[in-house]
Amino acid sequence: MPVSREEIRALVERYPSPPVVATVGSHSALDVADGAATEGFTSVVLAQTGRDATYSRYFRTVRAPDGSRRRGCVDEVWTYPRFAALAAPDSQEHLRARGALLVPNRALSSYVPLDVIENELRVPIVGSRRLLRIEERTERENYYSLLEAAHIPFPRAIAGPAAIDRLAIVKLPHASRRLERGFFTAASPAEYRAKVERLVARGTVAPSDLEAARIEEYVLGPVFNFNYFFSPLVPRAEGLELLGVDERRESNLDGLVRLPAAQQLELSETERIPEYTVVGHGTLTVRESILEEAFQLGERFVDAARAAAPPGILGPFCLQSCIDRDGHLTVFDVAARIGGGTNIHLGLGHPYGNALWRVPMSTGRRVAVELRRALEQGRLSEVVT
Ligand SMILES: Nc1ncnc2c1ncn2[C@@H]1O[C@H](COP(=O)(O)OP(=O)(O)O)[C@@H](O)[C@H]1O
Ligand SMILES: [Mg+2]
């Protein structure tokens, strides 16, 4: 049985005051902790032992004798032997006892099984618990169905390797590092077969994953990840905000494109095939005439998500897109939670978020502002699930 909204509402009504802002220690945790600290919350990072130094040592809060923050933004680090242990009954009890409001990120939904998040994790999640699953391309109801319902352009699916008639991207997990990508491109069935052979030999692709792989049209154009925020606390017309736009650095794709053509050709056939492991992010703005379309797609996505899975989007979400030469967006991936690139906002905010809010506004800070407003208005249960 899914954890119900009524249950969470009853829980937050009895919550300690003030609550603390907690997030899983990876992905976008620094942005969330920094934002929470800026807005006067206690920030808690739920970390895995051995992967906690960034939070417990390097960004740990150090206070002056008068209690003011001298450095750092991570007020508390709670460590677990494995991330998944944070959902164990006694850890949940501790989270509730401290009034933890859990900001979900991809680390939460990757390391804690989705079934556990949906059915057992009785801790308020800031955002939509139900929508975390739509990211899984292997689910029957996934983000493609939402994009379709929202009339948002997305890459055309290609039925199978034999149907590849143009440049296509094949999406499947990495053979050994299961949370990473084993993506590759192919423009014909013959190229598909040749690449599979090389990538299986290199250990990037497992043959057993090919069956369920998503094959789709490759969209030629730069990648723009739109980091939006939707607030249910204000009138619908003011609900959608665009806080920032990021792009990724992917290894070793970006390494390859930095090589001059002559040097690329010196690589072996296998070395020339890029991998798509995200290793960093950069900040972008878009041509101003494109912004309106970005807002329209964001609005449609909010409406479609609400209709398909009420209450829909609450807080941050990210549409990952390519922009073609006519300036139109094609959305190839969606995060119905904080995106992976919002650390570009750390400390500075982003031109769009700042222009809107008139102060440095990161996604992490925006989440904290939402929580503060909800608390002030007695509406906390409207922003958590
Ligand atoms: N249809 C596409 N056309 C062109 N590039 C794509 C397409 N789909 C994905 N990519 C590239 O692959 C990267 C990862 O794809 P994405 O669908 O976001 O995977 P994940 O779900 O693992 O985040 C993107 O950042 C982009 O560079
Ligand atoms: Mg993605």
Predicted confidence (pLDDT) per residue in 221-259, tens digit: 999 999 999 999 999 999 999 999 999 999 999 999 999
For residue 181, report the distance from its CA to the centre of ligand 1, in Å.
9
Ligand number, closest to the Cα atom of 318: 2
**Mean pLDDT score, 1-24:** 97
Q: How far is the CA of 30 from the centre of ligand 2 (A)?
A: 19
Residue 356 has pLDDT above 90, yes or no: yes
Band (pLDDT 50/70/90 cuts) for residue 343 is very high
Q: Which two tokens stand for residue 21?
A: 């802002």
116 — phi, psi (to 5°)?
Answer: -70, -45
Residue to substitute in 324, 329, 333, 337 for testing ligand 1 pocket (most ligand atoms within 8 angstroms of CB): 333
- In this structure, the strands spanning 184-186 and 168-171 are antiparallel
- Residue range 352-364: mean pLDDT, rounded: 98
Residues of the chain with CATH 3.30.470.20: 143-153+221-354
Q: Is 218 touching ligand 1 by the criterion CB < 6 Å? A: yes
Q: Scanning the structure block, which residue is given the tokens 């479609």?
A: 304
Q: What is the CA radius of gyration of the chain?
A: 21
The protein residue whose alpha carbon is closest to atom 14 in ligand 1 is: 276
Tell me, which fold does domain 143-153+221-354 have in CATH? Answer: D-amino Acid Aminotransferase; Chain A, domain 1 (3.30.470)
**Would you call 35 helix, strand, or coil by DSSP?**
helix
What is the pLDDT averaged over residues 165-181?
Answer: 95
CA of 300 to the centre of ligand 2 (A): 19
Read off the pLDDT band of 36 (50, 70, 90).
Answer: very high
pLDDT of residue 342: 98
Quote the pLDDT of residue 140. 84
| Whole-angstrom distance, CA of residue 263 vs CA of residue 36 | 47
Domain limits, CATH 3.40.50.20, in the chain: 5-128+375-382
Query: Which ligand 1 atom is nearest residue 320's CA?
Result: 18
The confidence score (pLDDT) of residue 83 equals: 98
Question: How far is Cα 263 from Cα 71, in angstroms, rounded to an integer?
Answer: 45
- CA 320 vs CA 73, 274, 316, 336, 357: distances in Å: 28, 20, 13, 11, 23
Report helix, strand or coil for 231: coil
The residue assigned the tokens 């804690």 is 112
Q: Is 149 in the pocket of ligand 1 (CB under 6 A)?
A: no
Residues facing residue 227 across a β-bridge: 244, 318
By the 8 A CB rule, do 41 and 368 touch? yes
Ligand lying closest to the C-alpha of residue 278 = 1
- Residue 169 CB less than 6 A away from ligand 1: yes
pTM recorded for the entire structure: 0.97
Return the residue whose CA atom lies nearest to atom 22 of ligand 1.
181
For residue 131, what are its two tokens? 């929508």
Q: Pick the residue whose CA is nearest to atom 12 on ligand 1.
A: 276
Q: What is the pLDDT of residues 39-56, one digit of tens each?
A: 999 999 999 999 999 999
Looking at the CA of 183, name the nearest ligand.
Answer: 1
Residue type, 272: R
The residue contributing the CA closest to ligand 1 atom 16 is 333
- Amino acid sitting at position 180: E
What 3-state class would DSSP assign to 287?
coil
Extract the runs of DSSP E, i.e. beta strands, from 218-257.
223-230, 240-252
pLDDT-above-70 percentage for the chain: 100
What separation in Å is there between the alpha carbon of 332 and the centre of ligand 1?
Answer: 6
Q: How far apart are CA 55 and CA 77, in angstroms?
A: 7
CA of 332 to the centre of ligand 2 (A): 8
- Ligand 1 touching residue 181 (CB < 6 A): yes
Minimum CA distance residue for ligand 1 atom 19: 333
Confidence category of residue 184, pLDDT binned at 50, 70, 90: very high
| pLDDT of residue 141 exceeding 90 | no
CA dihedral (69, 71, 75, 79) in degrees, to 10, reads -160
Fold of 5-128+375-382: Rossmann fold (3.40.50)
| Per-residue pLDDT reduced to its tens digit, 292-331 | 999 999 999 999 999 999 999 999 999 999 999 999 999 9
The pLDDT assigned to 138 comes to: 87
Residue with CA nearest ligand 1 atom 27: 223
Ligand nearest to the CA of 138: 1
Residues 250-283 have pLDDT tens digits of 999 999 999 999 999 999 989 999 999 999 999 9
Task: Give the closest residue to 268 by CA, choosing from 279, 276, 256.
Answer: 256
